[in-house]
């Protein structure tokens, strides 16, 4: 898999100035946290809990590092901080206006942690290798869980998330970390882990996540060279053969839900919307209609299910089954626009486009010869979330919403370190 093999300061252990023992312990604790983040995310039922506990412990060991780091990179971090606060205000106002439970706002409010984790990655100087190693373990663990579930009789692997789509989206996010946090020379293990990840996505039967896989592969192909590029071409060719096989081999078409997609398209042509594809189109139409009716404030954060329940076919005494059970729009932009109006629409655009622009700036600002892995990884991760958000409401699910805030923050912090020519320490 990709990544140009260039020297990378973010892999080098860096001594921290002042109180060396406590600061060294804080940095080591954070490195273990970085390993646990991808390693335990979906391969265990613990999710982000071990990472959060260890990161908090690292912070408490040396809290002064955060202020020190902000003095150095406060200007570069300010746009993300303002974005996170603005989104939090929009979500909070929507919560109060529509008397929504705070648990509905929780996933979006986690964006407030994004600048904090960027500061931790910058100020504590952890090695990025731990993220890569954790991603390999996480992909292997996710594959093992998926195989166990499918062999055990489940139609679609969902891991501990109980949601096959969320499971596949998390797998692709781990692939991004494995590919773009790869140390120089570690091609074999990275390729093997990513292959397991691709198989896991197939076992989940989630069709909307495949564009994300292609984004990772194509960008990796563009930036890689030598053996890594040859491996990328081989993986791309394998995926192409797999796609062709999925069209003609019955069991494979069934597992990847290609046959179901064909059936859905045929039913739509016949005027039958009672299918997975038809339901998604109906949700998009309903979201658009709701936005037109409530353009300024929407119907309340996390309350798209109200619009579904208000449909004639879903009103009591109709049973809440099938389409009437759905509680979000299965697409980010329509979901935020329908539930929070124009402010929500602007908020979700900022959540994705602002980090995208900042990562592009980091790529352009890096001196010649410097590694661009973190900035490139952050860029690709945001693109993957945008692609997945076309067919899924990413911030309706705690796991992937939290991971976005944490991973984008960490990669931005690492990219700021890579941009410094004097990155031997603070």
CA 81/CA 157 separation, integer angstroms: 37
- Report mean pLDDT in 10-residue bins for the chain, 426 residues: 47 53 92 97 95 97 93 94 97 93 90 96 94 96 94 89 91 94 84 89 85 87 66 61 50 54 61 69 92 94 90 74 80 95 97 96 71 86 95 92 97 89 40
Nearest to 200 by CA among 244, 192, 34: 192
- Residue 259: C-alpha distances to residues 36, 207, 225, 262, 338 (Å): 37, 11, 37, 5, 32
| pLDDT recorded at residue 425 | 36
| pLDDT recorded at residue 95 | 94
Cis peptide before 317 (omega within 30 of 0): yes
Nearest to 328 by CA among 347, 348, 350, 309: 309
Q: Is the dihedral of CA 414, 418, 420, 426 positive or negative?
A: positive
Considering the entire predicted model, what is its pTM? Answer: 0.89
- Residue 44: C-alpha distances to residues 36, 50, 136, 167, 169 (Å): 10, 11, 14, 12, 16
Work out the burial of residue 103: count CB atoms within 10 Å of its CB; fewer than 13 is exposed, 13-18 middle, 19 or more buried.
exposed
Nearest to 31 by CA among 93, 112, 124: 124
């Amino acid at each position: 898999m990709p990544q140009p093999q260039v020297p990378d300061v973010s892999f080098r252990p860096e001594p921290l100035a002042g109180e060396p023992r406590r600061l060294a312990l804080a940095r080591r604790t954070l490195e273990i946290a970085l390993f646990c983040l991808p390693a335990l995310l979906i391969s265990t039922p613990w999710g982000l809990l071990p990472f959060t506990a260890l990161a908090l412990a690292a912070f408490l060991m040396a809290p002064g590092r955060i202020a020190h780091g902000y003095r150095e990179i406060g200007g570069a971090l300010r746009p993300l901080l303002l974005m996170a606060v603005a989104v939090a205000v929009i979500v909070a106002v929507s919560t109060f206006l529509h008397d929504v439970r705070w648990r509905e706002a929780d996933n979006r409010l986690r964006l407030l942690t994004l600048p904090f984790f960027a500061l931790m990655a910058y100020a504590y100087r952890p090695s990025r290798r731990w993220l890569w190693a954790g991603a390999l373990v996480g992909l292997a663990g996710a594959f093992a869980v998926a195989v166990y579930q499918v062999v055990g009789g489940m139609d679609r692997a969902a891991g501990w998330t109980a949601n096959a789509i969320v499971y596949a989206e998390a797998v692709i996010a781990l692939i991004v970390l494995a590919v773009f946090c790869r140390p120089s020379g570690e091609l074999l293990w990275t390729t093997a882990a990513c292959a397991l990840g691709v198989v896991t996505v197939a076992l989940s039967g989630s069709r909307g996540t495949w564009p994300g896989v292609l984004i990772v592969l194509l960008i990796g192909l563009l930036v890689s060279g030598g053996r890594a590029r040859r491996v990328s071409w081989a993986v791309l060719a394998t995926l192409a053969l797999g796609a062709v096989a999925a069209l003609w081999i019955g069991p494979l078409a069934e597992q990847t839900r290609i046959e179901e997609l064909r059936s859905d398209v045929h039913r739509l042509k016949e005027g039958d919307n009672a299918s997975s594809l038809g339901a998604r189109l109906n949700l998009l139409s309903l979201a658009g209609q709701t936005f037109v009716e409530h353009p300024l404030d929407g119907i309340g954060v996390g309350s798209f299910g109200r619009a579904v329940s208000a449909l004639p076919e879903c009103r009591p005494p109709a049973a809440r089954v099938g389409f009437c059970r759905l509680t979000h729009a299965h697409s980010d932009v329509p979901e935020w626009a329908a539930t929070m109006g124009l402010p929500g629409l602007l908020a979700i655009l900022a959540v994705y486009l602002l980090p995208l622009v900042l990562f592009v700036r980091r790529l352009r600002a890096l001196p010649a010869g410097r590694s661009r892995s973190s900035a490139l990884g952050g860029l690709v991760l945001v693109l993957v979330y945008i692609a997945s958000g076309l067919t899924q409401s990413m911030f309706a699910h705690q796991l992937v919403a939290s991971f976005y805030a944490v991973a984008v923050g960490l990669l931005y912090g690492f990219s700021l370190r890579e941009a410094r020519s004097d990155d031997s320490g603070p």
